[in-house]
Amino acid sequence: MKIKVIHGPNLQLLGRREKDIYGELSLDEINSEISKVARSLGLDANIDQYNSEGDIVDAIGNAASKGIKGIIINPAAYTHTSIAILDAIRGCGIPVIEVHLSNIASREEYRKHSVTAEAVVGQISGFGKSSYLLALQALKEILV
């Protein structure tokens, strides 16, 4: 079963950027763990990172036509601003789970509201890399 994992802007800086908030792991290390857990759950994870909002919108919009059955997305900074990503999630026709490494509800005021959350099946935040791993388990349950 094919799924898509979308990492948003600046997540390629993980392991170097604000380690006190985002942790020590690099994006490659997180992706490796995602791939391993996905395989153990019988999921084929296609993982990409995009800095451009339009590229994220395209990835969401094209997912179903590529046989993708569900999406896990960390919209990063676009979480708080992107109506375009919200609309893409609403229109894609497949389940989407939103994840965040940090607990956005305990962050700066402008980070507490997720524009995209109203279109997703659920949101998991604050558990570091485990946010993604928990989302894999949830997505598997949704898709079975």
Q: Note if 110 is an active site residue.
A: no
CA distance 51 to 33: 22
CA distance 70 to 5: 9
Return all residues near 95 (Cβ < 8 A) that are at least 6 apart: 69, 70, 71, 121, 139, 142, 143
CA distance 80 to 77: 6
Beta strand 70-74 with 122-125 is unpaired
Among 7, 22, 78, 132, the active-site one is 22
Among 7, 78, 100, 132, the active-site one is 100
Report the chain's terminal Cα–Cα distance, integer Å.
10
CA distance 74 to 9: 9
Q: Note if 100 is an active site residue.
A: yes
- Known catalytic residues are 22, 100
